[in-house]
Each structure stands twice: as C-alpha cells, then as structure tokens.
Structure 1
Amino acid sequence: MKITRIINNNVVCAVNERHQEMMLLGSGIGFQKKKGDAVTVEKIEKEFFLKSKHVTGKLYALLAQIPMEYIRVSDSIIQYAKQSLDKELNENIYLTLTDHINFAVSRYKQGMNFNNALLSEIKAFYANEYRVALKALEMINQEFNITLPEDEAGFIALHIVNAELGSEMEETMKITQLIQKVLNIIRYQFKIHFNENSLHYARLITHLKFFAYRLFNNTVVTSNDSDFLNIIKEKYKLEYQCSLRIAQFIRVDYGKELTEDELVYLTVHIKRVTDEEKV
C-alpha cells in the first residue's frame, strides 16, 4: 500500500494493490512519512473504505484537528449499532458522530452540559437506537475517563436515526416533534394512555417515523386500491376522523397536504393501537 495523503501522524490516506482508496489509522503511521511512501503495515489499527468522496473529504479535515481516539470510538459505536440493529447506516455518521463526540467531550471538560429537550420522546420513539446509544455512552466514558450525562445518549440516538433514514439532524428533530404532536392528537381524541411496550404502539411509531420522513421529503404513498380505501373509511369512521384532524394540523402547521392513502394507512394504525388500549 502506498500513502497518497498524510492527515496527521496517526491518520493517512492510502491506495492498495487493487487501486482502492482507504483511510488508515494507527499510532505513528504517518510519522516521518510522505506521499508515495509505503505504509508500515504493522502500524495499521483501523481501515476505512468510504464510498462518499464528500464525507471522506470532510472527515479528513476533522481528523486533522482531533486525536484519532475520537474516530476509533466512533467506529466502534457504528459497528456495534450496525450489528445490534441489523441495519446499514449512511456513511455520513462517521463524520457527524465523530464530530459530536469530540464536541461533547470538549463541553464536558469545560463544565458545559446541554439538556436534551427531546430525551423523553427519543426514549419512547427510538427505543432500540436509544439502547445502542446507552452502550455508546459507556464506550465514550470509558475511552476518555469521563461521565457524560444521559442526555448525550439521546443525541447519539438521533445521530443513529439520521443514519438509518439518511436525513440531517434538524430533520430528525422535526420528525420527532411531529410524532409527539400526532400522538397527542390521538391521545386526546380517544382519551387513552399508550402502552409503550406494546407491539401495536411500536408499529404506530415506526409508521409515523417514515410518514414524517416522507412528509418532509415531499414523497407520497399511493396504492391505487380504491376499494380498500373506501372500506377502511367506512369501517373505521372514528379513526378516520382522527386522521382527518391530524391532516388539518399538518396543513396548518406545515403547509402540506396528506393523500388519501396516507390518511387510510394512518387510520389502520390508529385503529390497532386504540383497540389495544380498550382491552
């Protein structure tokens, strides 16, 4: 392998025999090296193959400013998340999570802790991602010998959700807030308390997550099954009325219209979760 770029003493960019570009981490791997030199294989601790040139370029710039421990712990968290959630994650998480960890540790050392206003919602809506984030918090605290607050697990969970959806942090926070508002409408109309451990509640949250993602990205669901739509509207009248109320809220607050298909699928999920609460 030949070095094509030196980021710092511990991070280099190299190309292998198959002309694949990669990022290599290792203590002293770039020390007294220059472009074109052979990589000291024994010093390689981590190898990264990132497809996105945009992400790679920004990550290089970040790693030129921070110790390699941040990308190392970030990578460990990402691999754990992929395995635990059995999902692929957008490569952008290597940049955003590494940057967040660096910022969080820096804030902690300065005695500046941020409260996470959405922590309760994150725990409820993204339970699996939050469990991964709690483990991530353990990894970070152990690596840097610190004690970050639980609020940070909420932020990390959002980074994981971003990577699952391929969205930005701002959009994920908007999605989370929208889910909470929709649940409040359902809760108020049917005067129920959700069982957050139930299967139907989990399905409703999953539906709302992708429903909100579609809404903010201007994509729609269409089934072309008018018979099914009419049956649901007729059979579940109260639930459909609740969907119409949600549509009105979205129209007023977000200036977006829901399709009949979105309304009907929402109706089905509302029916399931409200029936469960009546049992």
Structure 2
Amino acid sequence: MKVKKILNNNVAIINKGGHDSIIYSSGISFKKSVGQHISEDEIEKTYVLDSKDRLEHLSYLLASSDQKTIELINKLVEYGENFLDKKANDYLYLALLDHITFAWKRGQKNQFIRSPLTWEVKKFYPDYYKIGIYAVQKMRECYKIDFPDDEAVSIALHFVNIQEDKSHLDENIDDIAVLKNILNIIQFQYATTFDESSMNYMRLVTHLQYFIERLRRKKLYGDNDVTLYETVIKLYPKAYKTVEKIENYIDKKFHQRLSKDEYTYLMIHINRVTERKDREK
C-alpha cells in the first residue's frame, strides 16, 4: 500500500487494490511521505467508505479534527460494537465525527439542543440510548463541557445505523415520528401536556406502539364490540372527537380508516391519560 495524501499529523489517504481508503496512524506525517509504502501493522484504523463523496467528506472532517476528537470517535464506536455485539459500518465514523464536532462548537458557545424524542428513543432503543449516555459522559470528559443528556438521543440514533436492515431502521424512525404526531394531536385537543412519568402515559404509548405496528401490517382490529364502542362514545365524547382527528392523520399517512374496536381502545386510553387534568380545568 502506498501513501497517496497526508491529511494531518495522524491521518492519510492510501491506495489499496486500486481503491482509496483513509487511515489513522499516530504521527504518520513524521514517518511517511507521499508515495512511500505503509504496512498493515503500522495502521491503527482504516476507514472504508462506499462513495467518493463520503470519502471526501470524511477526509475533510478528519483533516480539520484534532487527535483527541478522532480518538474519542474511535473509542465510542469500539464501545458501541462491543456493547451491541455488532460490527459498525464506517459511515458511522463520518456521522459521529460530523455530529460531535458540531456539538463541541455549540457547547463552546453554551448552545445546546433539546431533543423532543428523548422518552421515545429510551422506549424504542434502550440499548442504543445507553450508548448515547456513555458517549455524552466521554464528551464531557474530553471537552470539559457539561453537555446535557439530550445529546445522547442523536448519538443513539446514529448507532441504530449498525442495524443491517436499513429499511427496518427507516421504518422504526418513521414510527417514532408517527407516535410523536399522535401524542401531539391529543395534547393539542386537550390543551395539555403529558406527565411522561405517569403509568397512564406509559400505557398509552405502549398501546400506540402496537397500534402503529398493526397499521404497518394492515391488520387493524375489527368491529367486534359495537355496543362497547357506542357506550364509550357517550361516556367520552371529547376523546371521540380526538380519535377522529387521529383517524384523519392516519388516513393521510397510511391510507387506512379505523375500525370501531380501534376507536374504542384509543378513546379509553386517551381518557385515562387526560381525565385528571381535564377535571382540574
């Protein structure tokens, strides 16, 4: 293998088998020159990307990053691979380097972003969220900045990319958005905010997760208990109006209408999670 280009003291581009790859080798700029041979045992990390654009983007980021940031990224990916017992693709290095470099710049200005998906990511991806929390702890140690736990959410979602089935990943992320939109419809209709630590909220979210899964499989519940449906409408008319709004959203998103049984269960869960606050008004 020959060194094709030196990016900084520790990073270079090599040509291996007619293809360009990026390597990390401590002090390579002092040890090698362009055109010189470099062996595998001299390389600490090789980044192989599947497109020229990604290779150029990662090259730029690595060239402008300091050693502690690159070492942090390598450490986080290694930790995530061991924790999940899965091999990460090298695109993860690019995504994390991009994200953490920007987070560091924001942190220096005391500018932090609050994530609206914290609870949902904890629920859908608990293991990935734990990796995110680990990453935030290491970021605090590395940069001496008190990053909020919200940073863990974005990092967790980057690690979700380790999943081999990208279509499944995209679907899960889309499901989080659908869940969030349904919760927003309920909160808007009741002019309230949820107590996310309450048991009724957790039950509602769990019901909605299975509800979204049924929508995906096009296997909604039927019209098996019309009497209960009519009774619940009379008991909880506001919840019924709210489910109508949800159905309008679902129809646009999934092109499906809701059965009477789906209406019934949604009305019951919505009433439970909003009942106390509604009485207080």
TM-score (norm 2): 0.64
CA distance in 1, matches of 2:4, 2:98: 24
Partner of 2:151: 152
Task: Give 1:8-19 correspondences, 5 Å limit.
Answer: 8-16=8-16
Q: Is the 8 A contact 1:247 1:258 kept in 2?
A: no
CA apart distance, 1:135: 0.7
CA distance in 1, matches of 2:25, 2:202: 44
Partner of 1:112: 110
Task: Give 1:154-173 correspondences, 5 Å limit.
Answer: 154-161=153-160
Q: Give per-residue Cα distances to partners, 1:127-162, cap 9 Å, x unaligned.
A: 422211001112223334443222322332243346
Q: Is the 8 A contact 1:2 1:14 kept in 2?
A: yes
Task: Output the amino acid matched with 2:53.
Answer: H
For the structure 1 residues 259 and 97, does the alpha-carbon distance in structure 2 shift closer, same or farther, using more than 3 Å as the test?
A: same
Match of 1:149, SS state, is coil
For the structure 1 residues 49 and 196, does the alpha-carbon distance in structure 2 shift closer, same or farther, using more than 3 Å as the test?
A: farther
Alignment of 1:132 onto 2:131: yes
Alignment of 1:233 onto 2:222: yes
Q: Is the 8 A contact 1:8 1:64 kept in 2?
A: yes
CA distance in 1, matches of 2:224, 2:90: 44
Match of 2:3, SS state, is strand
For the structure 1 residues 137 and 31, does the alpha-carbon distance in structure 2 shift closer, same or farther, using more than 3 Å as the test?
A: same
Task: Give 1:70-109 correspondences, 5 Å limit.
Answer: 70-85=69-84, 91-108=90-107
CA apart distance, 1:38: 1.0
For the structure 1 residues 196 and 140, does the alpha-carbon distance in structure 2 shift closer, same or farther, using more than 3 Å as the test?
A: farther
CA apart distance, 1:98: 0.6
Give the greater-gyration-radius structure (CA).
2
CA distance in 2, matches of 1:172, 1:68: 35
Partner of 1:7: 7
Q: Give per-residue Cα distances to partners, 1:89-127, cap 9 Å, x unaligned.
A: 56543222112211222333x342314141544554444
Q: Is the 8 A contact 2:48 2:90 kept in 1?
A: no
For the structure 1 residues 117 and 142, does the alpha-carbon distance in structure 2 shift closer, same or farther, using more than 3 Å as the test?
A: closer
For the structure 1 residues 250 and 207, does the alpha-carbon distance in structure 2 shift closer, same or farther, using more than 3 Å as the test?
A: closer
CA distance in 1, matches of 2:118, 2:60: 34
Task: Output the amino acid matched with 2:151.
Answer: E
Larger deviation, residues 5-14 vs 145-154? 145-154
Alignment of 1:53 onto 2:49: no
CA distance in 2, matches of 1:176, 1:112: 28
Quote the RMSD (CA, aligned, Å): 4.6
Alignment of 1:259 onto 2:259: no
Partner of 1:143: 142
Q: Is the 8 A contact 1:122 1:176 kept in 2?
A: yes
CA apart distance, 1:176: 4.5
Which ranges in structure 2 are unaligned for 5 or more consecutive residues? 233-239, 273-281
TM-score (norm 1): 0.64
CA apart distance, 1:250: 4.8
CA distance in 2, matches of 1:6, 1:144: 26
Task: Output the amino acid matched with 1:13.
Answer: I
Partner of 1:63: 62
CA distance in 2, matches of 1:127, 1:41: 36
Partner of 2:21: 22
Partner of 2:235: none
Q: Is the 8 A contact 2:7 2:62 kept in 1?
A: yes
Which ranges in structure 1 are unaligned for 5 or more consecutive residues? 212-219
Partner of 1:217: none
Q: Is the 8 A contact 2:10 2:25 kept in 1?
A: yes
Aligned residue pairs, count: 246
Percent identity for Structure 1 against Structure 2 = 27
